[in-house]
Amino acid sequence: MAESFSLQFSPEARRAGDHVVSDDDYSIRLGERIRVIRRQKRLSLQDVEARSEAEFKASVLGAYERGERAVSVPRLHRLAEFYDVPVDQLLPPADVEVVVEAVGEEPPAWLPGQKVVIDLVAMVDAVGPEVELIRRYLGIIQVKRQDFNGRVLTIRQDDLQALAAILATSVNDAAPRLAEMGLLRPATSS
Ligand code: C2E
Ligand code: C2E
């Protein structure tokens, strides 16, 4: 049966290279990645259900995205076909250490002259009234670039104007505000 190819492995810890990765963590990260791609495609769970003619039910896809339900490899391939992305784009990045290290650290400050590098991993869990609008705006850029690396997105200085409007700040305060919200990655000067 297809589900036996599940990407949600046993509850035991799994050894990947030098890192020990718990299977629950992996499922959660896989789900986050699947959600990022859906959001980049600007589809709701219900849109996916409708457009896939109920091949991917909203409730089941939601459970995959929350890491609550195992997704089989064939299903993951079908989902990649549906989203029109290479299947590896649905997999979480291999080096989990970076994500783990970021937890509990002070968000990096942003200094004028630095590139604005959005932390797309942090965006997944971000909450707040402006976050959905920021997501939509970044989603447009990703689709235009066809850039689905899913970890970072370097945006133009010009884009700070739109983000300032969303955040109700001045243009100069937009990047520092994003940094305060923990949504920027440290970057070198441009
Ligand atoms: P465009 O502005 O006509 O840029 C065409 C191509 O020139 C881009 O294709 C990219 O390969 C290159 N390019 C332009 N500016 C830069 C830059 O500052 N750095 C780098 N490394 N390359 C640059 P691409 O990436 O496929 O983007 C396609 C179109 O999507 C762009 O056309 C633009 O209309 C839009 N776009 C892409 N990224 C952004 C962004 O960060 N902000 C905004 N506002 N629009 C973007
Ligand atoms: P970057 O590629 O290192 O570019 C740094 C700055 O050089 C850009 O700052 C922009 O002022 C200028 N520049 C580079 N390539 C072009 C170009 O083709 N056309 C024009 N008009 N200017 C260019 P900016 O706009 O603030 O962008 C910051 C960073 O955002 C870029 O660093 C790049 O990493 C990313 N980016 C911006 N636009 C695009 C794009 O269209 N496609 C892609 N793939 N990346 C972009």
pLDDT in tens, 39-95: 888 899 999 999 999 999 999 999 999 999 989 999 999 999 999 888 888 888 765
Cβ of residue 115 lying under 6 Å from some atom of ligand 2: yes
Sign (positive/negative) of CA torsion 81, 25, 143, 62? Answer: positive
Q: How far away, in angstroms, is 84 Cα from ligand 1 center?
A: 21
| Residues 126, 45 share a domain | no
Residue nearest to atom 34 of ligand 2 (CA): 154
Is the domain of 62 the same as that of 110? no
What's the number of CA atoms in the CB half-sphere (13 Å) around residue 41?
20
- Answer yes or no: do 42 and 123 share one domain: no
- What is the pLDDT at residue 82? 94
Q: In what order do the strands lie in the sheet with 116-119?
A: 152-155, 116-119, 184-185
pLDDT tier at 8, thresholds 50, 70, 90: very low
Ligand number, closest to the Cα atom of 154: 2
**Ligand 2 atom, smallest distance to 157 CA:** 26
User: Tokens standing for 161?
Assistant: 């104007």
Strand partners of residue 22: 13
Amino acid at 68: E
Q: In the chain, what is the straight-line distance between the N-terminal and C-terminal CA atoms, in Å?
A: 52
In a domain? residue 190: no
